[in-house]
Amino acid sequence: MTASRRFVSELLGTALLLAIVVGSGIMGERLAGGNDAIALLGNTLATGAGLVVLIHVFGPVSGAHFNPAVTLVALVRRDLGADDALRYLAAQFTGAVLGVWLAHAMFAEPLLQVSPKLREGWPQGLAEAVATFGLIGTIMGTVRSRPEFTPVAVGLYITSAYWFTASTSFANPAVTLARSLTASFAGIAPQSVPMFLAGQVAGAAFGAVLFGWLLKEENAR
């Protein structure tokens, strides 16, 4: 695939992912009647299902990273070149912001917003480290053993992690930054972003090292 197609694939896929995350959060909040558990359940199911579809659609073009943490791990592991990695990162951050604005437009919300929703404390950072660690392990493990199952595995893992992590599993720096630009159910206050990013970087790095060792194929003797 050409570099331009891979760039558009990552931009469009990430934009649609954020439209799903934020849009389903807005819909869930509007329909749940103040019940956050119901709103989160709707947000979770839409995100997990949407990920499966998006990875199937865009995976053959760009690998469907939609996530700077995944791209940086691929770069470190030399599965992706530096030029492509920079393009992917630019596409992901740009697409994430566009996806938030698209969700706002669909629900007649102001395009430009800043989230007031604080998500503070070291447990939130730990939760993001765990969420990102698990995501990297899910991808590396299934790509090695059952690559055709990877889209489903990622969707199922994120669906699960929405509920077993205290942070509701952002596990994605582009998603985190973009969600600071929505005052909806899915938002995160800008001052809470650094803790989430630190957890995500730590989780991705630990995941790449541990699963890289654990899943390493030994040379035949």
Strands (E), the chain: none
Please check whether residue 44 lies inside any domain of the structure: yes
Q: Domain limits at 56?
A: 3-214
At 221, the pLDDT band (50, 70, 90 cuts) reads very low
Q: On the CB side of 9, how many CA atoms lie within 13 Å of its CA?
A: 20
pLDDT digits (tens, 9 = 90+) for 15-49: 999 999 999 999 999 999 999 999 999 999 999 99
- Rounded CA-CA distance 61/14 in Å is 13
Q: Report which of 65, 203, 59, 198 is spatially closest to residue 137, judged by C-alpha positions.
A: 203
For residue 49, is it within any domain? yes
Residue 221 domain-assigned? Answer: no
List C-alpha distances in Å: 219 to 57, 74, 216.
34, 22, 9
Judge whether 84 lies within some domain: yes
Whole-angstrom CA distances from 165 to 19, 37, 129, 185 are 22, 14, 10, 17
Does residue 101 sit within a domain? yes
Q: Is 168 contained in some domain? A: yes
pLDDT more than 70, % of the chain: 98
- Please check whether residue 94 lies inside any domain of the structure: yes
Whether 219 is in a domain gets the answer no
CATH value at residue 72: 1.20.1080.10
Number of domains in the chain: 1
pLDDT tens string 103-150: 999 999 999 999 999 999 999 999 999 999 999 999 999 999 999 999
CA distance 115 to 160: 25
Task: Answer whether residue 205 shows pLDDT above 90.
Answer: yes
SS3 15: helix
Token representation of residue 1: 């695939």
pTM of the model: 0.96
